[in-house]
Amino acid sequence: MLGDYTLQNVVMGALLLGAISGVLGSFAMLRRQSLLGDTLSHAALPGVCLGFIMAGSREMGSLMAGALGTGAVAALMVVLLTRYSRLKTDAALGIVLSTSFALGVVLLTFIQGMNNAAQGGLNAFLFGQAAATLRSDLLLMAGITALALILVLGLWKEFKLICFDPGFARAQGLPVLLLEVVLTVMIALAVVVGLQMVGVVLMAAMVIAPAVAARQWSPRLEVMVPLAALFGMAAGVSGALISTLGRGLATGPLIIICVSGFVLVSLLLAPRRGLLWEAAFRLRQRRRLRQQQLLTRLYRQASWHGEPRRGSGRKLADDDCDPRTRRVVRQLEQRGLVGCHDRHWMLTAEGHEAAARILAQLEGRAT
Amino acid sequence: MSNRLHEPGLALHVEDLTVSYHGKPVLWDIDFDIPPGVMAAIVGPNGAGKSTLIKSVLGLIPPMAGHVTLFGRPYRAQRKRVGYVPQRSSVDWDFPTTALDVVTMGLYGQLGWLRWPGRRERRRAMEALAMVGMQDFAGRQISQLSGGQQQRVFLARALVQQADIYLLDEPMAGVDATTERAIVELLQRLRDEGRTVIVVHHDLQTVRCWFDWLLMLNVRVVAQGPVEQVWTAENLRRTYGGQIALLDGDTSITAPAGPAARASGAS
């Protein structure tokens, strides 16, 4: 199956797209500019159409140049709108996104009205047409990806600093604006890589999703970025392979579904940050605190009575018949910290020690 | 700009500085000097332009008019001699990085392009962390640190630069009394080594016992100089206006004592 020429192309394209969008998406996400990818990809559509009109054919180079051009204009518009109007970034991104997408769709229908035979498949750029990927396209995509990776490796610490603390970066003498422009242009380039594979509409997910998933698993940028690339590439390959299972299954959307699956699993299960993980952790924590609280209460009552280990058991059993307390007592009994003696609950020797330890710890924190 | 030094005897010299934001003046015609080797506080009410002043000194905000020199040269030429501690709330502490890593960022400017921080940088960052008592938290993810610990990490990031002038923007905001004292002692040690420490400060109660130089700011400079000379009820009233009610409880301010009487009180 992997010997199939088209499939080879698709898989290689998906790998390249996964790598570049995972890496650059990480930086975009950390700068709170996840939606920049969305805006740039929608802004690529009028560029693709303009490139087609000028070249008169579906030649990859001119389409991509057009996409880059309108992407740059869109990015510039966002910067100008946020700086000189009272709009916030999200509103500026939204306005530029919808305007340029509308413009792109108008141009697309205009081209379809031209009755140019070469226009065939131009609207494939909306949702991508991975199977149409040529070796020459791959070469271009590989070149762009390599350039992006080299830049990120070379400017790693600068990119890290402008994402974390741009003010401090400027005080250190870094050309923050230039570095931000470089990052933005590279995201526009990544969009160009993704046009053929997943199309302008779904490209945003390729920029955001691998980064979001990777952030869940690692608290270090040095791990998160390669992991995002890995997620992107894995999703790309899985999507490509799944699309071979049925006739005419679209590769691009399948890639996005795969990467969304990664996000879902990561959001739920990742240690420390995952929702389920956190819920389980909190449950365990609460149970432990309840046990500790009861232990120290028994300890205090015991010393009140002047008997080292005796708690006021009858109280626990009868008055405090709150089922939660009884459950906690039973848990403590199972752990051997509390024993039932003559209808009285008493701390065992271990329980006594454990309670003393807990109190000592609490006091140690206060000093 | 010529190579001639302008007021080289002063750690910080600000002349005619005016900064506006959205057409409103934030700083108006500011003139002030800070001599080397002092620990200076910048105080003033909210919106007085304290942070803006620090940021203009660092070239982060373009001024409408005026100029700033540090030891006789503009900031651009003195970058390596200046350490900056921004407000803690200015960054996202959920950023995927460790305490040691943040401190290492203080060396990025000195490292130069294309170079990755190595063992030498990590060692220096460790030393800076130890100076603020945070060596045990080096590998900790920064979101897992308390507010006071985050503030100390920020301080260590400036310390690692081994600067001659330190500019700190509200380093005592939201930290407990113990951390506050630790930070002050550290800053005083820097001053005793001959460095200049300039702090945007919000707690008037502590100004007199911690600082030896004071700049009172409210869009314009109200007063500046040694604390014992500047700290008068009249100056405070002119700086804080109607908010002075807050200060009336402090008898030492309302008492009509001359500068000499208070000089002995300052440490």
- pLDDT tens figures, A110-147: 888 877 666 666 777 888 888 888 888 899 899 999 99
Least confident of A161-175, A194-208, B122-136: A194-208
Tell whether the model's pLDDT for residue B112 goes beyond 60.
Answer: yes
**Quick check: A167 contacting B, CB < 8 Å?**
yes
Nearest CB neighbour to B60, from listed A157, A158, A171: A171
Residues A281 and A260 occupy one common structural domain: no
Please report, as a single letter, which amino acid is at residue B125. A
Q: How far is B176 from chain A (nearest CA, A)?
A: 13
Residues A298 and A205 occupy one common structural domain: no
| Mutation target among A31, A32, A163, A168 for the B interface, most CBs of B within 10 A | A168
Tell whether the model's pLDDT for residue B143 goes beyond 90.
Answer: yes
Residues A263 and A299 occupy one common structural domain: no
Residues A159 and A305 occupy one common structural domain: no
The predicted structure's pLDDT at residue B254 = 42
Residues A67 and A155 occupy one common structural domain: yes
The predicted structure's pLDDT at residue B84 = 95
Residues A235 and A312 occupy one common structural domain: no
The predicted structure's pLDDT at residue A123 = 73
Give the DSSP H/E element, type plus range, for residue A286.
helix A275-304
The predicted structure's pLDDT at residue A360 = 87
**Sequence-separated (6 or more) residues with CB below 8 Å from residue A34:** A25, A28, A204, A207, A208, A211, A212
Place of tokens 């309670």: A355
Which of A216, A239, A268 is the last residue in one of the domains?
A268
Per CB-CB distance under 8 Å, the chain B contacts of A28 are none
The predicted structure's pLDDT at residue B28 = 93
Q: Select the more confidently predicted residue: A26 or B175.
A: A26
How far is Cα A288 from Cα A286, in angstroms, rounded to an integer? 5
Structural domain that includes position A342: 277-366
Residue A69 maps to which CATH number? 1.10.3470.10
Average the pLDDT over A314-320 and give the result: 51
Highest mean pLDDT, choosing among A80-89, A126-135, A335-344, B176-185 = B176-185
Residue A335 maps to which CATH number? 1.10.10
Least confident of A2-11, A104-113, A211-220, B105-114: A2-11
Residues A244 and A309 occupy one common structural domain: no
Q: Domains in chain B and their CATH numbers?
A: 12-91+163-263 (3.40.50.300)
Question: Would you place residue B104 in the very low, low, confident or very high pLDDT band (cuts 50, 70, 90)?
Answer: very high
Average the pLDDT over B184-209 and give the result: 92
Tell whether the model's pLDDT for residue A162 goes beyond 80.
Answer: yes
Task: Return the number of CB contacts < 8 Å for A and B.
Answer: 73
Residues A201 and A218 occupy one common structural domain: yes
Which of A247, A268, A289 is the last residue in one of the domains?
A268
- pLDDT tens figures, A8-37: 999 999 999 999 999 999 999 999 888 888
The predicted structure's pLDDT at residue B259 = 42
Of A245, A242, A132, residue with least CA distance to A195: A132
Nearest CB neighbour to B96, from listed A165, A169, A218: A218
How far is Cα B12 from Cα B222, in angstroms, rounded to an integer? 18
Instruction: Look up the ipTM and state it.
Output: 0.88
**Quick check: A364 contacting B, CB < 8 Å?**
no
- pLDDT tens figures, B36-91: 999 999 999 988 999 999 999 999 999 999 999 999 999 999 999 999 999 999 99
Q: Based on the structure, what is the number of domains in chain A?
A: 2
Tell whether the model's pLDDT for residue A367 goes beyond 90.
Answer: no
Residues A118 and A20 occupy one common structural domain: yes
- Crossing angle of helices A5-30 and A176-217, in 10° steps, is 110
Place of tokens 């500026």: A92
Which two three-digit tokens encode residue B2?
A: 């010529």
Which of A268, A300, A316 is the last residue in one of the domains?
A268
Per CB-CB distance under 8 Å, the chain A contacts of B100 are none
Residues A22 and A55 occupy one common structural domain: yes
Question: Would you place residue B243 in the very low, low, confident or very high pLDDT band (cuts 50, 70, 90)?
Answer: low
Q: Average model confidence (pLDDT) for chain A? A: 87
The predicted structure's pLDDT at residue A192 = 82
Which two three-digit tokens encode residue B203?
A: 């707690």
Nearest CB neighbour to A161, from listed B84, B108, B113: B108
Residues A90 and A146 occupy one common structural domain: yes
Burial of B194 (0-12, 13-18, 19+ CB in 10 A): exposed
The predicted structure's pLDDT at residue B262 = 39
Which two three-digit tokens encode residue A136?
A: 């020459």
Number of H helices and E strands in chain A, helices first, is 15, 2
Give the DSSP H/E element, type plus range, for residue A91.
helix A89-113
The predicted structure's pLDDT at residue A2 = 57
Residues A92 and A15 occupy one common structural domain: yes
**Quick check: A324 contacting B, CB < 8 Å?**
no
Question: B110 to chain A: nearest residue by CA?
Answer: A172
